[in-house]
Amino acid sequence: MPLLLVPFVLLAVIVIAVLMLPWSLRQRYRAGTARRLERGWMAMINAIGMMISALLLLVTAALSTVWIPGAFTYTAAGLGVGCALGLLGLALTRWEAGPGTLHYTPNRWLALSITLAVVLRLCFSVLRMWQLRHETPEGGSWVAQAGLGGSMAAGAAVLGYYLIFWTGVWILSKKHGR
């Protein structure tokens, strides 16, 4: 009897995740566009964490190239695009310097477009994997044809954006502190 519960529990987890998606996207957007007080130490920790994450992503993409053709190329290109978006994000961010404080508000449209790009890319990959699972001949790799390299590129773009954005916030907080 308990073995029969496993599919139902798995289905319940999937349904809850799908139902929470709109709410979590709204919360992600709200958090990404909120006015914040700059804290140099937090920006430094975020920038260093993003650097480590970017290095780990590139190593993982290089190893994944065995199974996913072009994974490293797509990931590196996505990281480059994300870095360019990070520079754009810094330029479009509203900075408010006060006596001894610096507040910033990220651009709403850029935050929305990055969030939607990642969600749409991941949804496309899931749909593509579902289609190819039924169409790939026996012995073929449906994972390699599903476009996971593009999803890795979308993730790398977000990582590149935040890498440059937090590095810029860190640098600006050091300049403002002088």
pLDDT of residue 58: 95
Give me the half-sphere count of Cα atoms (radius 13 Å) on the Cβ side of residue 157.
Answer: 24
- 106 touches 33 (CB < 8 A): yes
Whether pTM > 0.85 for this model: the answer is no
Mean pLDDT computed over every residue of the chain: 85
Tell me: the pLDDT tens digits for 149-163? 778 888 899 999 999
In percent, the amount of the chain with pLDDT more than 90 equals: 33
Laid out side by side, the sheet with 36-37 consists of 36-37, 101-105, 94-98
- 68 touches 148 (CB < 8 A): yes
> Three-class SS of residue 102?
strand
pLDDT of residue 60: 93
Tell me: the pLDDT tens digits for 69-102? 888 999 999 999 999 999 999 999 998 888 878 8
Whole-angstrom Cα distance, residue 171 to residue 46?
12
Q: Enumerate the domain spans of the chain.
A: 38-177
